[in-house]
Amino acid sequence: MGNALVIPAIVAVTLLTVGIGFYGLRLARTTSDFLVASRVVSPTWNAAAIGGEYLSAASFLGIAGLILKYGVDVLWYPVGFAAGYLALLLFVAAPLRRSGAFTLPDFCELRLGSRRLRILATAFVIFIGWLYLVPQLQGAGLTLSTVTGSAYPVGAVLVAVVVTANVALGGMRAITFVQAFQYWLKLTALAVPAVFLALQWQADARPAVTPPDGPIFRTATAVVVEHPATLTFPDGEVREVRAGETLSFAPGDPVPEVSGVATDASDWLLPSTAGDDDRGLFATYSLILATFLGTMGLPHVLVRFYTNPNGAAARRTTLVVLALVGVFYLLPTIYGVLGRIYTPQLLVTGQTDAVVVLLPEAALGSGTTGRLLAALVAAGAFAAFLSTSSGLLTSVAGVISTDVLGRGSVRGFRLATVIAGAVPAVLALNVSGLDVSQVVGLAFAVAASSFCPLLVLGIWWRGLTDLGAAAGVLVGGGAAVAAVLVTVVGPPLTGWPAVLFAQPAAWTVPLAFTVTVLVSIASRRRVPADIGATMLRLHAPDALRL
Amino acid sequence: MPQPRARIVLAEVSRREDRADRTRTELAQQTRVGEALVRGLVRAQLALALRLSLVVMIALGGLPWLFAIAPSVSEVTVLGVKLPWLLLGVVSFPFLIGVGWSYVRLAERNEQDFTDLVQRPER
């Protein structure tokens, strides 16, 4: 890649992030400023910050890549990522804010008064946080190596260092401004090129997205094979390719089918049907459940609610966030679809996550427009890595500083940040083979099976006990964690076991709810004595100030 | 020299405050009346949240099932785009925002009703 504009764009985003961070640092005077921005952040800023923090590498790069590869079935990812905020709004937002809890462990202690449950929740917050941080750092490494040809560890370490330093020095106040800025940057970085891409598609006389004979190469393309694969050509020829081999295609050549990728037009264009694949339907519902219910259990999402002044503001903020992420998620689909036309070689190489970064130059040529847009997209991608990692790191560090180190001071928070940032950085360097979008999906599944039952039942059901909550988190969350470990490090599986472990939410979430309810009923003498007062605090309108 | 600012309280308002204070105390002290009031509010808010999530479950959750049992629905083309792409890629987002907006409106109305009840117990 010879685009000289990409590196300055990435450097500019990084410097702006650090710069706004230091501007915020000058304003941060007290521990309260540092951790919760003293609750003076306005709902619009706060909503943009939540949106900025939420739209991660998986949203910015992963969704378009998945759509390019698998087609309509994976549109459930963006729908679910947005719908997660609706579930959060309906069941959690206002009562959680009124509870006064800053983190999930705080909520456990406030609602159930159990230290041991708090420790269990702390362990899950740290696990989910790290599980979500690793793919962000990986995404940074892969993007930087795709657009600049640098080595993989450079991007991962760069993002880890910038984010750790920024969070440790600036804290939450700075992060709010940084995140809000990054939401608008990410939206611009996808929206502006999308307009140019759509115009280019018009100017090219609207080439068909799914030509009758499958996708074709529009220009002469050379593909270097990185992993051995089996290619099936449309004329029936089957060919094994080895790593390092170079395949050349002339304009108009059909794209060969790579094992496991939906090249066939109808597979890509139409949802999977009942007749041919029950497992597909199960996986779809599992994904829906994980994303709808997982958002509320993500540690970096909840921390944000504490910066709202009251419950009603938390509700309004959540609605604005839903609108902001809804607008954003209209865009990746355009990249995934146009990628079928302009970057079909990614279907052969399998590096479909690169489609957003490569599409502007592939479609608009490497003239000034194409290169400027490519630089803009790369800047947006970096904003995605920086903002999500910052939010995750803030919340993991917050939990470590209060629950593991046991200090509430600014110095303790800084030490915790370094610890919280170092671990995923080391992990990211050692596991470059993991699939970014899949790991993010697994983090949602773990959150949905551990914290979702705890929050929903804790807020709405008087009968929840500490034993029931702990059992639900251990059994449901534990089953989801086990599924994650089997998928990530276990042996390759096929058929039903593969689906059950790769998309576990459809069985782990009901399991977690059932265990929580049954154990709570069995131990109903342990219902906290002050449950009436707690319910009043969670649900009484803010105007009454009870 | 300006006089120190005096606090003027209208008699009518002050009487109403007394009543409101009584109900607030009942709420805060968890008397049977207070407890029943809170239970009613929680039930109303939960019923609202469940009703709206049922709407989403049927409208969105029904789609994979619909596409699976009636593949012909997926073949329908609107404005040159296949129906599943249009529904999932575009229509679902304004739908979710619309549900969220009506929830915020209705939940605030429930809270307003509760506040009115607490502040004017005689009505």
Spatial separation of the C-alpha atoms in residues A477 and A484, rounded to whole Å:
10
The answer to whether residue A401 scores a pLDDT higher than 60 is yes
Strands A238-241 and A229-232: antiparallel
Determine the residue of chain B that is closest to A283 in CA distance.
B64
- The rounded distance, in Å, linking the Cα atoms of A317 and A93 is 9
Nearest to A271 among B64, B92, B99 (CB): B64
Mean pLDDT of A166-173: 67
Q: What pLDDT does residue A1 have?
A: 45
Put simply, the answer to whether A72 touches B104 (Cβ < 8 Å) is no
Average pLDDT over residues A357-377: 81
Nearest-by-CA chain B residue for A314: B104
Q: Flag whether pLDDT at B99 surpasses 90.
A: yes
Confidence band of B104 (pLDDT split at 50, 70, 90): very high
AA identity, residue A454: L
Nearest to A274 among B28, B69, B93 (CB): B69
Q: Given an 8 Å threshold on Cβ–Cβ distance, is A540 in contact with B60?
A: no
Contact, A32 vs A38, CB < 8 A?
yes
The answer to whether the CB of A298 falls within 8 A of the CB of A136 is: no
Residues 6+ apart with CB under 8 A from B15: none
Which of B35, B61, B74 lies nearest to residue A271, judging by beta carbons?
B74
So what's the pLDDT on residue A510?
92
> Which ipTM value was assigned to this complex?
0.83
CA distance A84 to chain B (A): 10
Residues of A in contact with B49 (CB under 8 A): 90-91
Token reading at B34: 């207070």
Residue A352 has pLDDT above 60, yes or no: yes
Least confident piece of the model among A25-39, A60-74, A104-118: A25-39
CA of A333 to nearest chain B CA: how many angstroms apart?
A: 7
Question: Using CA atoms, how far apart are residues A121 and A109, in angstroms rounded to an integer?
Answer: 10
Distance of residue A451 Cα from the nearest chain B Cα, in angstroms: 19
How much of chain B, in percent, has pLDDT values that exceed 70? 72
Within a 10 A sphere around the Cβ of A316, how many other Cβ atoms? 20
Does A399 score more than 90 pLDDT? no
Highest mean pLDDT among A28-32, A88-92, A491-495: A88-92
CA distance A177 to A488: 35
User: Are A542 and A308 spatial neighbours (Cβ–Cβ below 8 Å)?
Assistant: no
Radius of gyration of chain B measured on its C-alpha atoms: 25
Which of the given ranges, A34-38, A168-172, A338-342, has the highest pLDDT on average? Answer: A338-342
Q: Cβ–Cβ of B101/A539 closer than 8 Å?
A: no
> Which chain B residues are within 8 Å of A284, Cβ to Cβ?
64
Q: Which helix (H) or strand (E) holds A247?
A: strand A246-249
pLDDT value for A152: 76
Q: At residue A210, does pLDDT exceed 60?
A: yes
Q: For residue A264, name the pLDDT band (cuts at 50, 70, 90).
A: low
Please report where in the chains the tokens 């919340």 appear, as a residue. A395
* Average pLDDT for chain A: 79
Closest CB to B56 among A86, A329, A333: A86
So what's the architecture of A6-213+263-544 in CATH? Up-down Bundle (1.20)
> pLDDT value at position B69?
78
Averaged pLDDT for residues A331-339: 87
pLDDT of residue A457: 92
Distance CA A241, CA A230 (A): 6
Q: How confident is the model at residue B96 (pLDDT cuts 50, 70, 90)?
A: very high
pLDDT of the residue at A40 = 58
Domain ranges (residues) in chain A: 6-213+263-544, 221-253
Segment A9-35 mean pLDDT: 66
Angle at which helices B92-119 and A311-328 cross, to 10°: 170
Length of chain B: 123
Residue showing tokens 């709810």: A513
Q: What is the pLDDT of residue A91?
A: 92
Distance of residue A310 Cα from the nearest chain B Cα, in angstroms: 13
Residue A274: predicted pLDDT: 41
Q: What is the CA radius of gyration of chain A?
A: 23
Per CB-CB distance under 8 Å, the chain B contacts of A272 are: 67-68
Note whether A89 contacts B34, CB cutoff 8 Å: no
**A513-538 average pLDDT score:** 86
Q: Using CA atoms, how far apart are residues B42 and B120, in angstroms rounded to an integer?
A: 20
- A251 or A107: which carries more pLDDT confidence? A107
More confident residue, A120 or A38: A120
Q: Pick B49's closest partner by Cβ from A85, A90, A312.
A: A90
Residue with more model confidence, A349 or A453: A453
Q: Which of A260-274, A377-391, A523-537, B61-75 has the lowest mean pLDDT?
A: A260-274
Tell me the per-residue pLDDT of A140-163, one tens digit each, with 9 for 90 and over. 887 887 777 777 788 788 888 888
Nearest beta carbon to residue B42 from set A78, A327, A460: A460
* Angle at alpha carbon of residue A442, lines to A440 and A443, rounded to 5°: 65
A382 in contact with B at a CB cutoff of 8 Å?
no
> Which of B19, B38, B65 has the most A C-beta neighbours within 10 Å, making it the best mutation to test the interface with A?
B38
Q: Provide the 3-class DSSP secondary structure of residue B80.
A: coil
Closest to A318 measured CA to CA, from A329, A308, A332, A328: A308
